[in-house]
């Protein structure tokens, strides 16, 4: 009896150490958690998007009506335009500034380390808090920027940073760049430092100017990382929600209402989950297409081949 | 040559000063702002320093002692800003949630990563790709379904909901980074142990985890930081003041148009301190993990 038990226990142990079974068991907890919270929500969102579900109307199947409503709505177009404009300004700005900051940090100067460590802070801060800090800087009525410029005698009347359409947009861009630039710069710096020194000396021997060296040596060396940074920042720009919420609440009017903020407002302010889901699916598809286009456009070998 | 190198130094220091100003000035302003009495802060023309700066805002947050300048404006004022007093508890809430997420990432993440890196099993490639791809869905797109799921599980306003959601959002990244790390460990070490008759579990426990420990801890801290900072889900899952996480408390204060800003800034200062301690280890891990492991320069 006890012998048999021992035998089966040993059998179980042998079974568990079978690599295939062990592998399955090891990935299971994470896989199940992620799968449940991916497949179910996506299926649910698709289902939801074909129905009217709001506190006011009885639930009802409406087919593609929500999609048509969203697509045809002025506010959707407006938010999509805002998002495109936002990404079109911030992504190139982050790439260009990122390279400049990386080149700067690659030089030796007093305070270099302090700057490198200090710039962790804007990056590590919750984005909602970043928006909040800057809200006080930009506040129309008695923000720090207005108070400072007034005290220095640069302006006579306070500037409406957050209630003027263009200035409010600029403010959101500045805060986003402030928070994202450290990461962009550090990745580019790391890639900069991996460019072999010999290439620079060779270029110098050839009599290349500083700009020439950048164009022929530095740029090709960091190009893969440039693509990665651009992709990553594009995703961050598309999904930016916290900063808008804390800084401008999408205003004035709809000037800073990006797609994510719009989706949130549609779902949780208006409690129109049907339309909110349709909107969410449109955004998910759009960003998927964007990612695919960019991955296609990436130079070959930009990322190491996954050999999974 | 000499004048050129001088110009170069000037450009470098000029750029560095500009950057330092851009990055740090807002923090300095917030620290200053938190110590200035509200009446001075809102005065026009601005005279912030007419009355001496003080720490009464911090006193209020921790002890509830109402700053002197508030008394002139009556009880309503202090009621409106009393939400700021939620900050210490919100830090604790965020801490509890983020710690749980970190442990889930440590355990589930390293188990899965080791299997993806080292073991052959059916569906490995598909599962790995699926987990990574799951993060390409924008969070706002799944926000509504998440809300409905949490609602149907009766977990609205529960930390469990936040812990589950944040784990799902962080596990793919943890898995990716740790898989890449495990792959970089020479396979001969595993093979030697295998010849000795060690099971995959034993190899992971005795060899894999000790070798990968710095990366595992780094990945865990990264998950911690993301959870500590998350705002969107925290905003709609927590419904009572007792359960709100730090970004939610501060974010909703900012939406309050009548908030007292010196209070709010004191709240920001207190709320930022834990981030300070996390930033450096997480940063090191990020830079090392993402620049050496995943991407060829």
Query: Is there a single domain that holds both residue B164 and residue B285?
Result: yes
pLDDT value of position A91: 95
Helix axes B261-288, A127-138, angle to 10 degrees: 140
What is the spatial distance between Cα B153 and Cα B160, in angstroms, rounded to a whole number? 11
Give the end of a domain, one of B83, B98, B120.
B83
Residue among A294, A254, B67, B230 nearest A303 (CA): A294
pLDDT value of position B69: 65
Q: How many angstroms away from the CA of B75 is the closest CA of chain A?
A: 23
Query: What would the pLDDT profile of A102-140 be if each residue is shown by its tens digit?
Result: 999 998 899 888 898 888 889 889 999 999 999 989 988
Query: What would the pLDDT profile of B245-287 be if each residue is shown by its tens digit?
Result: 999 998 888 777 677 888 888 989 998 888 888 888 877 776 6
Query: Is there a single domain that holds both residue B242 and residue B280?
Result: yes
Q: What is the 3-state secondary structure (H, E, C) of B41-75?
A: HCCCCCCCCCCCCCCHHHHHHHHCCCCHHHHCCCH
Query: What would the pLDDT profile of A277-290 be if each residue is shown by its tens digit?
Result: 888 888 888 878 87
Highest mean pLDDT among A81-95, A196-210, B62-76, B121-135: A81-95
Give the end of a domain, one of B83, B104, B121.
B83
Q: Work out the average pLDDT over A168-178.
A: 96
- Tell me if B122 and A107 make a contact (CB, 8 A cut-off): no
* Four-CA torsion A133, A137, A140, A142, nearest 10 degrees: 100
CB-nearest to A122 from B23, B109, B121 is B23
Mutation site for A-interface testing, chosen from B140, B149, B151, B190 by largest number of A Cβ within 10 Å: B140
* Chain B residues whose beta carbon lies within 8 Å of the beta carbon of residue A54: none
What is the spatial distance between Cα A22 and Cα B204, in angstroms, rounded to a whole number? 11
Query: Is there a single domain that holds both residue B79 and residue B131?
Result: no
- Tell me if B142 and A16 make a contact (CB, 8 A cut-off): no
* Chain A residues whose beta carbon lies within 8 Å of the beta carbon of residue B139: 239
Query: What would the pLDDT profile of A81-91 be if each residue is shown by its tens digit?
Result: 999 999 999 99
| Residues of the domain holding B136 | 86-246+272-294
* Chain B residues whose beta carbon lies within 8 Å of the beta carbon of residue A190: 287, 291, 297
- pTM for this entry: 0.86
* Four-CA torsion A223, A224, A227, A230, nearest 10 degrees: -90
Residue ranges of domains in chain A, CATH in brackets: 67-297 (1.10.3720.10)
Query: Is there a single domain that holds both residue B9 and residue B111?
Result: no
- Both tokens of B163, joined, read 């812990």
Q: Work out the average pLDDT over A239-252.
A: 88
- Asked if residue B23 is part of any domain, the answer here is yes
The ipTM, to two decimals, is 0.84
**How many independent structural domains does chain B possess?**
2
pLDDT value of position B43: 78
* Chain B residues whose beta carbon lies within 8 Å of the beta carbon of residue A48: 144-145, 148
With a pLDDT cut of 90, the percent of chain B lying above it is 32
Number of A–B residue contacts, CB under 8 Å: 307
* Chain B residues whose beta carbon lies within 8 Å of the beta carbon of residue A259: 140
Using CA coordinates, name the residue in chain A closest to B289. A187
Query: Is there a single domain that holds both residue B148 and residue B290?
Result: yes
Asked if B168 contacts A38 with a C-beta cutoff of 8 angstroms, the reply is: yes
Using CA coordinates, name the residue in chain B closest to A113. B16
- Tell me if A129 and B294 make a contact (CB, 8 A cut-off): no
Give the end of a domain, one of B83, B118, B146.
B83
Query: Is there a single domain that holds both residue B22 and residue B56?
Result: yes
Q: Which residue has the higher pLDDT, A218 or A86?
A: A86
Query: Is there a single domain that holds both residue B56 and residue B99?
Result: no
Query: Is there a single domain that holds both residue B196 and residue B54?
Result: no
Helix, strand, coil tally for chain B in percent (to 5):
80, 0, 20
């Amino acid at each position: 009896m006890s012998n048999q038990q021992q035998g089966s226990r040993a059998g179980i142990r042998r079974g568990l150490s079978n690599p295939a079974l062990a592998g399955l068991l090891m990935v299971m907890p994470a896989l199940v958690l992620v799968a449940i919270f991916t497949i179910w929500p996506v299926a649910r969102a698709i289902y939801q998007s074909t129905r009217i579900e709001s506190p006011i109307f009885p639930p009802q199947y409406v087919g593609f009506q929500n999609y048509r409503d969203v697509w045809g709505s002025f506010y959707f177009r407006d938010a999509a335009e805002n998002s495109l404009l936002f990404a079109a300004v911030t992504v190139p700005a982050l790439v260009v500034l990122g390279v400049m900051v990386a080149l700067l940090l690659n030089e030796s100067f007093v305070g270099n380390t302090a700057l490198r460590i200090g710039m962790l802070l804007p990056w590590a801060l919750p984005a909602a808090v970043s928006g909040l800090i800057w809200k006080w800087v930009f506040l129309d009525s008695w923000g720090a920027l207005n108070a400072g410029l007034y005290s220095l005698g640069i302006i006579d009347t306070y500037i409406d940073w957050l209630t003027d359409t263009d200035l409010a947009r600029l403010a959101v861009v500045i805060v986003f760049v402030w928070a994202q630039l450290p990461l962009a710069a550090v990745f580019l710096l790391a890639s900069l430092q991996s460019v072999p020194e010999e290439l620079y000396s060779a270029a110098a021997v050839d009599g290349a100017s500083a700009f020439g060296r950048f164009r022929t040596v530095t740029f090709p060396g960091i190009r893969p990382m440039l693509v990665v940074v651009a992709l990553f920042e594009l995703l961050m720009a598309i999904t930016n929600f916290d900063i808008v919420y804390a800084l401008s609440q999408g205003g004035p009017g709809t000037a800073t209402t990006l797609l994510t903020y719009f989706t949130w407002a549609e779902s949780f302010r208006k409690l129109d989950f049907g339309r909110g889901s349709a909107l969410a699916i449109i955004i998910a598809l759009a960003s998927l297409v964007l990612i695919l286009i960019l991955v296609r456009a990436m130079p070959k070998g930009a990322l190491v081949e996954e050999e999974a | 040559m000499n004048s050129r190198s001088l110009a170069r130094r000037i450009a470098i220091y000029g750029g560095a000063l500009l950057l330092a100003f851009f990055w740090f000035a807002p923090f300095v302003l917030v620290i200053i702002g938190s110590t200035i009495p509200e009446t001075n802060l809102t005065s026009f023309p601005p005279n912030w320093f007419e009355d001496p700066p003080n720490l009464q805002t911090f006193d209020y947050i921790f002890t509830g002692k109402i700053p002197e300048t508030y008394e002139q404006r009556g009880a309503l004022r202090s009621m409106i800003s009393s939400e700021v007093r939620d900050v210490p508890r919100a830090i604790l809430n965020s801490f509890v949630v983020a710690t749980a997420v970190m442990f889930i990432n440590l355990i589930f993440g390293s188990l899965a990563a080791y299997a993806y890196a080292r073991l052959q099993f059916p569906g490995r490639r598909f599962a790995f790709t699926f987990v990574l791809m799951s993060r390409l869905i924008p969070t706002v797109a799944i926000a509504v379904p998440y809300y409905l799921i949490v609602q149907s599980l009766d977990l609205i306003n529960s930390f469990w909901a936040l812990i589950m959601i944040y784990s799902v959002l962080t596990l793919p990244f943890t898995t990716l980074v740790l898989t890449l790390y495990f792959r970089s460990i020479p396979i001969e070490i595993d093979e030697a142990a295998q010849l000795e008759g060690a099971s995959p579990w034993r190899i992971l426990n005795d060899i894999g985890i000790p070798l990968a420990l710095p990366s595992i801890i780094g990945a865990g801290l990264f998950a911690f930081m993301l959870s500590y900072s998350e705002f969107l889900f925290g905003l709609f899952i927590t419904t009572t003041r007792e359960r709100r996480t730090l970004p939610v408390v501060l974010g909703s204060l900012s939406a309050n148009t009548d908030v007292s800003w010196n209070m709010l800034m004191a709240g920001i200062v207190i709320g930022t301190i834990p981030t300070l301690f996390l930033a450096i280890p997480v940063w090191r891990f990020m830079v090392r993990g993402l620049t050496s492991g995943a991407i060829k320069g």
